[in-house]
């Protein structure tokens, strides 16, 4: 699923670019038509307008794409109205998601489509945003105060977009200590703690059983590959194969060991348990297995085409039986990958793909997770996906949903332009789109009025915060 410009033709040729002014002039009408598709997902006209304003702000060249800068720069938008729209207004989220997935299928659907699961972190300074906690933040590679979302993306030879999202809420948020914060963030009454793999499993279930877009493969990293809940859900569908990263410490057998029923006494009762028969080999770790395989069985393969040339690794595969608590469980393909050089780094994957599957399929699947990483990168750098300043649970979900729709719209335009400019990127499409957006053209009088309003607003906020601080920590009287 590499871009066309990297997979065909002369790689040294200058990419074709034959776009004209006429190709861009109707972008605004196309954008309005796209948003009109979701009109019946909102109860009021004001909400429909704010939906459009918010997307216009995301497509703009604004340095900061949070609510206030969007409202101050998009023609017709108002700060308080968009705040209410994002954090409080009722949307038919389920209908929006259904319509959206149908549109994705029209543009990107493919019988060999891949559903990709991953998470993304969003750093936060305060403690009042829904689900914020000191936890691992993948995009900075360390533990920090952040929110974490679990996302599902879809990739096919035609492109890639996000299909679903869930805010991960850490378990401490469901204790009595966080009751007031849950109330302020307006958590749904039925919201319960679920792990990231459980959230991901629910998304997989919803997307596949809704059956609006074809999925052949399910791909995720070891956070999900090490989870029995996620593996069970991914394995539940006939004709679909999972390809999941797993820990190097995972244990397995090359040949399934024989087992037996064994009786034992516990508190005066006779009980039975399954045990591996005496004399059977002990399971070994995936890392030990990989290191024991002769170089004859390792094959050098290209995973993708990088900016500096081909990205290559060595691969091999084996049928293994996984071990859990000393007992054999499911039989799977084990795919092993190692970097080139004298001190290789190993990666491991399991798959329930058919017995006839060739190594080439697994090589391809090992490199197919990059589209969701591109979704995060493009969403954050182009659309302000991480610029939000909302605190409520509903606000986070609404912001992410619009970000997903906006990212898809850029892909829709990219597909429309691909015959004349096959190498044009999502970033370049947004540059073309931003020049026709209905943004405010400030006069001197308007600019002076705006500065006055901002100063007044900031002063009121300062006074409010100061009063709150004095109320919470009053100055002690002199004795």
Residue pLDDT tens, the chain, 479 long: 544 444 455 555 677 888 999 999 999 999 999 999 999 999 999 999 999 999 999 999 999 999 999 999 999 999 999 999 999 998 999 999 999 999 999 999 999 999 999 999 999 988 999 999 999 998 888 999 999 999 999 999 999 999 999 999 999 999 999 999 999 999 999 999 999 999 999 999 999 999 999 999 999 999 999 999 999 999 999 999 999 999 999 999 999 999 988 888 888 788 888 889 999 999 999 999 999 999 999 999 998 877 777 889 999 999 999 999 999 999 999 999 999 988 999 999 999 999 999 999 999 999 999 999 999 999 999 999 999 999 999 999 999 999 999 999 999 999 999 999 988 999 999 999 999 999 987 677 766 776 777 787 777 777 776 776 667 666 555 54
Is 283 within a domain?
yes
Q: Would you state the pLDDT for residue 463?
A: 78
Cα–Cα distance for residue pair 177/166, rounded to 1 Å: 23
Residues 295 and 186 in one domain: no
Look at residue 11 in the predicted model and tell me its pLDDT: 55
Looking at residue 337, its pLDDT comes to 97
Give domain status of residue 346, yes or no: yes
Return the closest-CA partner of residue 350 out of 417, 251, 203: 251
Note whether 284 and 394 are same-domain residues.
Answer: no
Specify whether 159 is located in the same domain as 252.
Answer: no
User: If we measure between CA atoms, which residue out of 330, 474, 459, 397 comes closest to residue 92?
Assistant: 397
41 assigned to some structural domain: yes
382 and 329 assigned to the same domain:
no
Domain shared by 326 and 398, yes or no: no
On whether residue 328 sits in a domain, the answer given is yes
| CA atoms of 333 and 317, how far apart (whole Å) | 7
Geometric angle at alpha carbon 242, from 241 and 244, rounded to 5°: 160
pTM for the complete prediction? 0.89
Residue 168 is assigned to a structural domain of this protein: yes
Is 429 domain-assigned?
yes
By the 10 Å C-beta count (0-12 exposed, 13-18 middle, 19+ buried), 58 is classed as buried
Structure tokens belonging to residue 372: 């969701």
Residues 29 and 146 both lie in one domain: yes
> H helices within 293-392, ranges in order?
359-366, 370-383
Query: Phi/psi at 133 (nearest 5 deg)?
Result: -170, 160
DSSP string, 211-241: TSS---EEEE-HHHHT-HHHHHHHTTSTT-E
* Residue 162: per-residue pLDDT: 98
Q: Are residues 154 and 299 in the same domain?
A: no
Q: Are residues 312 and 420 in the same domain?
A: no
Q: How many domains are contained in the chain?
A: 2
Range of the domain at 325: 248-350
Cα(first)–Cα(last) distance of the chain, in Å?
A: 75
pLDDT of residue 6: 42
Closest CA to 16 of 32, 4, 1, 28: 4
Residue with tokens 């969007």: 70
Question: Given 3-state DSSP classes, what are the helix, strand and coil percentages for the chain, each rounded to the nearest 5?
Answer: 40, 25, 35
Whole-number pLDDT of residue 269: 83
Q: Which two tokens stand for residue 433?
A: 């789109």
> Which of 320, 350, 380 is a domain's end point?
350
Separation between Cα atoms, residue 155 and residue 426, nearest integer Å: 15
- DSSP structural state of residue 352: -
Predicted local confidence at residue 2, as pLDDT = 45
Per the CB < 8 A criterion, the answer to whether 347 and 338 are in contact is: yes
Residue 276 lies in a domain: yes
**207, 308: one domain:** no
Can you read off the two tokens belonging to residue 11? 């790689």
Distance of CA 414 to the CA centre of its chain: 21
Co-location of 131 and 213 in the same domain: yes
Does residue 457 belong to any structural domain of this protein?
A: no
16 and 101 share a domain? yes
How distant, in Å, are the alpha carbons of 97, 313, 316, 356 from that of 364?
29, 12, 13, 16
Whether residues 309 and 412 fall in one domain:
no
Handedness of CA 419, 420, 425, 431 (dihedral sign): negative
How many residues in total does the chain contain?
A: 479
The Cα 173–Cα 185 span in angstroms is: 11
């Amino acid at each position: 699923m590499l871009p066309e410009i990297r997979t065909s033709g002369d790689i040294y040729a200058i990419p074709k670019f034959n776009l004209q002014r006429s190709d861009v002039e109707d972008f605004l009408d196309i954008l309005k038509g796209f948003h009109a598709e979701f009109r019946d997902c909102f109860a009021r006209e004001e909400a429909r307008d704010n939906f459009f304003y918010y997307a216009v702000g995301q497509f703009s060249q604004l340095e900061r794409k949070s609510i206030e800068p969007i409202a101050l720069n998009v023609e017709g938008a108002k700060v308080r109205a968009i705040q209410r729209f994002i954090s409080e207004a009722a949307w038919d989220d389920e209908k929006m998601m259904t319509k959206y997935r149908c549109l994705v299928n029209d543009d990107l659907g493919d019988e060999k489509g891949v559903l990709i699961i991953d998470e993304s972190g969003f750093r936060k300074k305060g403690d009042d945003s829904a689900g914020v906690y000191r936890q691992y933040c993948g995009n900075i590679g360390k533990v920090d105060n952040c929110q974490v979302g679990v996302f599902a993306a879809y990739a096919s030879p035609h492109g890639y977009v996000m299909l679903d999202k869930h805010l991960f809420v850490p378990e401490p948020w469901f204790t009595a200590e966080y009751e007031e914060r849950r109330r302020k963030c307006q958590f749904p009454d039925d919201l319960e703690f679920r792990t990231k793999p459980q959230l991901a499993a629910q998304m997989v279930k919803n997307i596949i059983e809704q059956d609006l877009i074809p999925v052949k493969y399910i791909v995720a990293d070891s956070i999900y590959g090490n989870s029995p809940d996620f593996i069970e859900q991914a394995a539940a569908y006939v004709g679909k194969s999972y390809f999941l990263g797993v820990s190097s410490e995972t244990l397995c057998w090359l040949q399934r060991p024989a087992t037996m029923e064994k009786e034992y006494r516990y508190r005066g009762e006779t009980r039975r348990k399954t045990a591996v028969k005496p004399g059977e080999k002990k399971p070994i770790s995936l890392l030990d297995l990989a290191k024991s395989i002769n170089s004859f069985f390792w094959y050098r393969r290209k995973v993708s085409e990088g900016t500096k040339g081909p990205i290559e690794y060595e691969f091999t595969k084996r049928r293994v039986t996984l071990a859990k608590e000393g007992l054999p469980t499911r039989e799977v393909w084990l795919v092993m990958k190692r970097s080139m050089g004298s001190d290789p780094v190993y990666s491991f994957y399991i798959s329930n793909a058919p017995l006839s599957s060739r190594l080439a399929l697994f090589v391809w699947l090992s490199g197919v997770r990059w589209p969701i990483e591109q979704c995060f990168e493009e969403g954050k750098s182009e659309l302000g996906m991480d610029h939000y300043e909302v605190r409520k649970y509903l606000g986070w979900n609404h912001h992410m949903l619009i970000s997903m729709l906006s990212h898809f719209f850029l892909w829709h335009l990219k597909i429309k332009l691909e015959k004349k400019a096959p190498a044009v990127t999502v970033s370049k499409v947004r540059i073309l789109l931003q020049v026709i957006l209905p943004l405010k053209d400030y006069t001197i009088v308007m600019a002076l009025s705006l500065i006055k309003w901002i100063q007044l607003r900031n002063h009121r906020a300062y006074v409010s915060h100061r009063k709150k601080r004095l109320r919470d920590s009053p100055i002690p009287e002199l004795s």
